[in-house]
Structure 1
Amino acid sequence: MALRWRIPYTAGVIRRRPIARRLAMLGMVFAAAGCSPPGILDTLNSLTPGDSDAHRAATAVAYGPAPRQRLDVWTPRSNGIGLRPVVIFFYGGAWVKGSRGDYGFAGRAYAARGFVAVVPDYRLVPSVRFPAFVQDGALAIRWTRDHAARFGGDPTRITIAGHSAGAYIGAMLALDPHYLTDIGVAPTTIRAAALLAGPYDFYPWDDSRAVDAFADWPRPEETQPIHYARADAPPMWLAAGTADTTVKPRNSVALADRLKAFGAPVRLREYPGKSHVDLVMGLSKPFRGRVPTLDDSTAFLMAHSR
């Protein structure tokens, strides 16, 4: 599930907005300098006006002993009435790459919409294999439950979001309760999940990175989120781009259908003509006009965290 990023500069919002064209040209410069695509997007995001009511309140906070078990916290600058809802955002990268520092645009976006947003790193292949990265996600949830109030967040209103491999982690945590119960956290701690372009039903594996991440596990069905669909799952919003060739939209369709069959609360949102990276780029200020993933996901999470 290799993630191919392309920062567009000739289509849609870019044609209409000269500032976006200039930002995209800067992105090309950063790419030539060796910056990662998500890092480029985060830089472009920081150069684009908006989301001023959000800031990074804490960085590199340890939620476990390993170097990769660190997280950042983003909060609204303005004081709210009472504690705010919380969202934990898990980024993608095919379980082999990614950095919370490159996804500040996501933390800032959700904080500007009124959430306390937590963006954790997690251990990656080849240093670990399944289920270590899911277990890290559970530890990040436990840390958030225990510490959210310090940052104005309500520990009884924790939601999760994620993209690609991060959506996979979010789905496993929402659907398979043992990851949380094993560390003393009630599965009901997760109030809702908004997941973008995630792999949920992808065995047999046809990608080398999935093989590297999961093939050592002796029971392949236990690696698949769809295996854990249940009637009492938390409300889930599953988004897919119909032009996604990295993680096929059938993953979201299949999981939504299985959850519906159990009577679980689920909403499927398919974005016509949108690619794998379009969905996460929609969280960033320069490219929100391409796909309304920020508006749609925050509306769902806010509605289910009251």
Structure 2
Amino acid sequence: MSAPGLPQLQRRRLLAGGGLLLAGLGGCSVTAINERVPADTHRFLGALDYGPHPRQKLDLYLPVGPVPAAGHPWLLFFYGGSWNRGERADYRFVGEAFASAGIACAVADYRLYPEVRYPDFLHDSARAYAWLRAEAGRGPLDRRRGFVAGHSAGAYNAAMLALDPRWLAAQDLHPRDLAGWAGLAGPYDFTPIRNREVQPVFHHPAVPPESQPLAHAADLRPPRPAFLAAPLSDWLVGTERNTGGLARALRAAGGSVTERIYDTATHITLAAALSRDLRWIAPVHADLLDFLRQTPPAGG
């Protein structure tokens, strides 16, 4: 799927903008994207502790206006950065993108290499989800309409929570407690690991086979509903092997998969296209909102 009839001028803008976004999303400063995020479209609750470690914090973006009787549907988002870098503050545009559309959104930090390696960041991810789900019982979130999602390395974190029951089990939860999950340009089948940044994260060369999301595609039958999006050509994560391969495996296990491939996005700009000013790149924001709104509640 791609943006129809994208003019050549816009394609050139996309390529030129990719360099800026790569610097912005890969850095630790507030990006130009975030500087344009409106403040009146959501309610912001910052630096909420989901654990005792300094990186076990999340920011919560809530819709404004009346709270539905059952609470707001909600999304826990994990950012990418090869499990080596990332800051939740750089993803204000993601929180606003969903909160302004009626979906509460949390953006979580998690521990990174070299402080930790696989699977510690998955324990953090599960802990963040469990904290939010517990809060849903006391606040404006619907316990049965919670999703996990992420971009790149963050999509891996989301996939592992949704597919491999070990991580949520440590929090006395199960993937069935998720309404569904979403991955943007995620690595789901990436051994042997060639990226030197990623190799030590997964104990290369002794990479555990069970560390790959694809290995867990049939652990739960049927798998939770999934939204998988990727650029047609990805310089970092092979789309056909990772997104295509996992989509096929989930369908073979009886899962419901919404798969979107965009020929107008890159690995970086796929995430940036969630922001208000860059949705011309690809309709990933609209497509993901459709998935979140149409997916039945957990247990429904």
* TM-score with structure 2 setting the length: 0.86
- Note the C-alpha offset of 1:305: 4.4
Per-residue Cα deviation, 1:125-145 (whole angstroms, up to 9, x for no partner): 010000011111000010011
C-alpha contact (below 8 Å) 2:24/2:30 kept by paired residues: no
Aligned match of 1:12: 10
Matches of 1:13 and 1:218, distance apart in 2? 42
1:201–1:178 CA distance, 2 compared to 1 (3 A): same
Contact 1:42–1:105 (Cα < 8 Å) also in 2: no
Partner of 1:67: 54
Q: How many residues align?
A: 284
* TM superposition shift of 1:220: 2.2
Identify which of 120, 124, 128 aligns with 1:132. Answer: 120
Distance 2:216 2:246 in 1: 10
Query: 1:127, 1:283 → 2: CA distance?
Result: 30
Give the residue type in structure 2 aligned to 1:272: D
Identity %: 37
CA contact (8 A) 1:95 1:125 kept: yes
**4+ runs deviating over 3 angstroms:** 34-43, 216-219
Equivalence for 2:155: 167
| Unaligned segments of structure 1, at least 5 residues | 1-9, 16-20
Question: Which residue of structure 2 aligns with residue 44 of structure 1?
Answer: 33
**1:45, distance to aligned residue in structure 2 (A):** 3.7
- Give the CA deviation at 1:44: 2.7
Instruction: Work out whether residues 203 and 220 of structure 1, in 8 Å CA contact, stay in contact via their aligned partners in 2.
Output: no
2:129 corresponds to:
141
Report Cα offsets for 1:71-118 as digits up to 9, x if no partner: 010001111332110100111111000000110110111111111111
Q: CA deviation at 1:300?
A: 0.4
Q: Which residue does 1:6 correspond to in 2?
A: none
CA apart distance, 1:259: 1.0
Q: 1:217 and 1:128, CA in 2 relative to 1: closer, same or farther beyond 3 A?
A: farther
1:243-283 per-residue CA deviation (whole Å, 9 max, x = no partner) reads 21111102100101111111211122111142101210111
Structure 2 distance, partners of 1:247, 1:279, is 12
1:283 paired residue among 254, 264, 274:
274
TM-score, length-scaled by structure 1: 0.85
Pair 60,183 (structure 1): closer, same or farther in 2 beyond 3 Å: same
Distance 1:43 1:73 in 2: 21
- The answer to whether structure 1 residue 77 and structure 2 residue 64 are counterparts is yes
Counterparts of 1:101-116 in structure 2, within 5 Å, are 101-116=89-104
1-structure distance, mates of 2:59, 2:162: 21
Matched residue, 2:182: 194
1:148: how far off?
A: 2.7
Q: Gaps spanning 5+ residues in structure 2: where?
A: 1-7
